[in-house]
Amino acid sequence: MTPAQIEEARAIAAQPGRAAVMRAIRDVSAQSGVPVGAIMGHDRRPRIVAARHLAMRVAHDAGVPLAEIGRVMGRDHTSVMHAVRKSPIRTEVRG
């Protein structure tokens, strides 16, 4: 890892909500084949929107507040609320 990557990892680790959201995004990206950048972006193609919504749902089910998910993903908390309600899959990640 480069020094910049190490510093970024430390910054993310210092913010547990952010780390959980990024973990959810990476997991959904790996499972769906949708790149992380597309999930974080504003593309409205159905496949990408579905992956984005699922990542929001996974993060919320992990206990991350809607506002924090929105902050990390560059969206309003009400957009996250809509995604969580719309997602047909309830994930079991709470401890």
- Write the CATH number for 27: 1.10.1750.10
- The answer to whether the pTM exceeds 0.75 is yes
Burial of 11 (0-12, 13-18, 19+ CB in 10 A): exposed
pLDDT for 86 equals 86
Residue 92 lies in a domain: no
Cα 52 to Cα 59: distance, rounded to the nearest angstrom: 11
Integer Rg of the chain from CA: 13
Dihedral of CA atoms 57, 58, 61, 62 in degrees, nearest 10, equals -140
**Confidence band for 90, pLDDT divided at 50, 70 and 90:** low
Q: Using alpha carbons, select from 37, 64, 59 the residue that is nearest to residue 48.
A: 37
Which structural domain range is residue 38 located in?
A: 3-86
- Please count the structural domains in the chain: 1
Q: What is the mean pLDDT of residues 48-63?
A: 93
